[in-house]
Structure 1
Amino acid sequence: MKRGLRINMDYDYIEKNLEEITDTLPSNVTLVAVTKTHGTEEINKAIDWGVTDIGENKVQEILEKYPHVKPVRWHLIGHLQTNKVKQIIDKVHLIHSVDSMKLAGEINKRAGQVGKTVNVLIQINSAGEESKFGIETEETEMMVKQILDECENIKICGLMCIAPFDEDPDNVREYFRVVKEQYDELAKIDHENLEFKYLSMGMSHDYRVAVSEGSNMVRIGSAIFGRRNY
């Protein structure tokens, strides 16, 4: 059976998980429910129970689900290839994963073609992991300023990072702290296309630590929906 077409399922666990998570989040923290590999019925149930923002890793999943999901803010949280930008430019509320001028330039071009200003976050690889995307911490200010100089159709709304996985989330606290410090510095830049309001840090296993270090946007999937459907 195709993903997204399952019926007559009991999704009460989603409501229970959402209640438990939202009860722990400060009021200023936005919950992005990560729905990768989960079906549209599950997503719509989550929206019924208060979810306002959903995140997808892949452009293809946004395109497949978009027509079947209730009104919601869509977030692209995974790596974005330049040749896929045009497919989602008019669908997403926020792109979390800008990590190169090549990608920023393509977003800027496609945004101009549809007469839109696109909200983005700069993805930082604060741990320098080769397996993860994102720019190095020391390159962030230079990229931010270059985007502001060259990309009039992009609004930079903050930063995003993915900390290394550790069984004890306290062990990755320093990686969140570094990004928060940079966020605070870059927020001081005065430019009409820079409005730092989102610090996207923390996932299902480490969001509590991320929030304690200043995150105001968390990306949570398995703690809401359970194990992914492959």
Structure 2
Amino acid sequence: MKDKIRIFQFNGTSILIEFDSEINESLLQFILRLKENIVRGNSEHILQVNTAYNSLLVIYKSTINNFYTLKNQLLQLISQVDLKQKPDLAVRKIPVCYEEDFGWDLQLLSEELELSKSEIIRRHTKPVYTVYFIGFLPGFPYLGDLDKRLYHRRKSQPRTQISAGSVGIADKQTGIYPSDSPGGWQIIGRSPVTLFDPNQKKQMCYLKAGDKIQFEAISREEFESFQTRSKEHKFLI
């Protein structure tokens, strides 16, 4: 990684690593491999490692008293990142109902983007998206590679509540609300998939950074069928 790297103490128990690089798939893979190196080499001292578009936050179990020693260790781990390992390219299909009851802002986007609703749906379901990181809410995936014709600003006045499963667009991103929450994204549909389940101790979040997903348009009837089977524990995605 030849880009400029900044490493500094973020607070009493954490160190932030920032990469001065354009956000892209190559940087994401480097960050994910680095996270693996850090966790594998320091598991007894590290509480958590959080990734974002161009940074990692390393959270230690105790107060940092030797920052420069830890910084040198991190630099060493950065130099050892091996990008020859191929990432998992399996694509998960995420069903989404884009009908009016769920696509609250679909008409607005249709008018402002000068695209038909069906064309917005076609462009939204065509790409294979990369999960760049999980943030904002537990299980909320920030997805890259949105069609440029669908770029749209956030709402100037956020809603006080958005339903779990709502699929939205904000600037160059698309994402899915894992739980009921306030939010300012433009809502174009809803998915019946449960993205965050605190009762699943081994894997509370359905998605993780580096995963590949593709949206799949479904009808209202199919949406309700997905929900029914999920409640009966007969449907697992």
TM-score, with structure 1 as normaliser: 0.25
* TM-score, normalised with respect to structure 2: 0.25
More strand by share: 2
